[in-house]
Amino acid sequence: MTRTWVWLIAMLAMPALSGDGIFDEYRDLMGDDNPAIFVIDEGEALWFEPQGPLAVSLEGCDLGLGAGVTEGAYALFPRYFEDTNTVMDVESRLLHCMETLQGRDREALLKKPYSLRGDLGTELEALVTWLAAESEGAIIAPQQAHSSERAMYSLGEEIFFYRAGPHDFSCATCHEQSNMRIRLQTLPNLTDHDDAAATLGSWPAYRISEGLVRTMGWRLQDCFRQQRWPGLKLGSEVSIALQTYMAVNAAGGVMAAPGLKR
């Protein structure tokens, strides 16, 4: 339904506009509305729904601010957790809670964390979307108090500039310069505070072209696909290190997610 509408607008607008124009127009038409509101509601319902062999909800999940505290928690990720002795992003923390609190099987949870094109969304995507909405207006403030958190930033910076693969691409190939485009798509300079803040603050995002909410974990996987690198594992050190690098560069920015993207 939504997608039909999107393409109708896209086709009507196409001859007159170029570039992000059709998406800008779509955003204007939507005003403050975002199709992700349905995903937010779904995520909230999933948080309170007893699930897994232990039939409990995620209300006991500690996202860093204490068990069950969801407001403002997303804006503080990635962060160190004592109970796992690791730095976690919001996605790996949610999986940890599903495993430990609800008794669910990790392998099963990792089978399909993100939607394929044409799907209607996954549980993880919905939960992340709701949690991001619970941080709307919050200041991006990734934790850097613990030495593991600072080490994660340094690792992320190193990986950001690591060139590899048949095309010699690194993250920096596309994301270390300001005001550049690939084809018509504007590229954020993720080494720059303002660009990093605008980017971090708008993920997860409803992708108009896919009719789905996508998470930052998915965004990184898709970047590496385009970099011609192998597949990035969800919750891997590379994923968390890069999210830490971006989040620290974005620190002080404001969360405005879920965003609305092309």
Partner 1 sequence: MVSALTLSSAVVSSERLDAVLMESFVDNGQATMERLQQDPVQQACHQSRTEPPDAAVAATLRQQRLDAVVFPADGNFLGDWQRGAAVADNGRGLQSSDDPAQPNGGNCYACHQLAPDEVAYGTLGPSLTGYGARGQSEPMLRYTWTKLWDTHAYNLCSHMPRFGAQGILTQQQLKDIMAFLLDPASPVNQGLR
Smallest Cα–Cα separation from 228: which of 171, 183, 156? 171
What's the closest the beta carbon of residue 49 comes to partner 1, in angstroms? 31
Nearer to partner 1, 10 or 251 (CB): 251
The verdict on 84 binding partner 1 (CB under 8 A) reads no
Given the rule CB under 8 A, which of 6-14, 28-36, 158-166, 211-219 is the region that contacts partner 1? Answer: 158-166
Rounded to whole angstroms, how far apart are CA atoms 1 and 18? 25
Letter string b/e over residues 27-66, b meaning 16 or more CB atoms within 10 A of that residue's CB: beeeeeebbbebbbebbbebbeeebbeeeebbeebbbbee
Nearer to partner 1, 106 or 228 (CB): 228
Nearer to partner 1, 81 or 229 (CB): 229
Nearer to partner 1, 57 or 219 (CB): 219
Footprint (CB under 8 A) of partner 1, residues 4-43: 18-19
Q: At what angle do helices 237-250 and 216-226 cross, to 10 degrees?
A: 110
Concatenate the DSSP letters of all residues of 90-140 into one string. Answer: HHHHHHHHHHHTT---HHHHTTS-SPPTT----HHHHHHHHHHHTTTTPBP
Footprint (CB under 8 A) of partner 1, residues 178-207: 179-185, 187, 191, 193
Q: At what angle do helices 21-30 and 2-13 cross, to 10 degrees?
A: 130
Given the rule CB under 8 A, which of 71-79, 107-115, 169-177, 199-207 is the region that contacts partner 1? Answer: 169-177
- Member of 139, 172, 254, 256 binding partner 1 (CB under 8 A): 172
Concatenate the DSSP letters of all residues of 142-199 into one string. Answer: ----SHHHHHHHHHHHHHHT--BTTTTB-HHHHHSSSSEEETTEEE--TTSHHHHHHH
- Member of 7, 11, 29, 177 binding partner 1 (CB under 8 A): 177
| Inter-residue contact 129 to 100 (CB < 8 Å) | no
Footprint (CB under 8 A) of partner 1, residues 115-154: 144, 150-151, 153-154
What's the closest the beta carbon of residue 97 comes to partner 1, in angstroms? 22
Both structure tokens of 30: 């939507």
Q: Is 97 a catalytic residue?
A: no
How many chain residues interact with partner 1 (CB under 8 A)? Answer: 53
- Member of 51, 57, 100, 173 binding partner 1 (CB under 8 A): 173
Rounded to whole angstroms, how far apart are CA atoms 14 and 258? 26
What's the closest the beta carbon of residue 182 comes to partner 1, in angstroms? 4
Catalytic residue among 61, 171, 174, 223: 223
User: Which of the residues are catalytic?
Assistant: 223
Binding site for partner 1 (CB under 8 A): 18-19, 144, 150-151, 153-155, 157-159, 161-170, 172-174, 176-177, 179-185, 187, 191, 193, 224-226, 228-233, 236-239, 241, 248-249, 251
